[in-house]
Structure 1
């Protein structure tokens, strides 16, 4: 069975992230992307930061994750972008099939 997963990517603003994930969907690297505003509190270069960012939650298949990571590293404005993949352990059969269909070559 094809493994489906969620990929989370943060970015400095929703406009950049929306444009970026639109390209991922267009290129069939993910089936869908949800972009939301978030507040991030993190330590970077010895200081605690509290900033507004955006979060994209993608749905894709495990085999597409390396391509998503490579593109994110190449295009992302951050020196160290936050990008993680999380397995989806359970989903309806119809939703799982839809994800797989959307990322399959035409």
Structure 2
């Protein structure tokens, strides 16, 4: 049930003809589509941060762009070491800081 999202550059991984690439793209779920689904379902998302293994961010996506910059509402910073939560409110999280996104534990979606 782990609805996690890991990012990779498909163009760097796949060095094939464009017809094979288009067939693969039809069966793949594009990261942008999954982020849009999180937005539509109003899911509470947990985000793992790049080079910050001790910190995670949880919140509801209310906007995003092509760089995967996210606007999160009711955001919280989770310290995995201290087992604490800090209320952040509405934030902009730059896409370059995101390592993984998944539906947060206890989310109804």
- TM-score normalised by structure 1 residue count: 0.29
Larger Rg: 2
Structure richer in helix, relative to its length: 1
- TM-score normalised by structure 2 residue count: 0.28
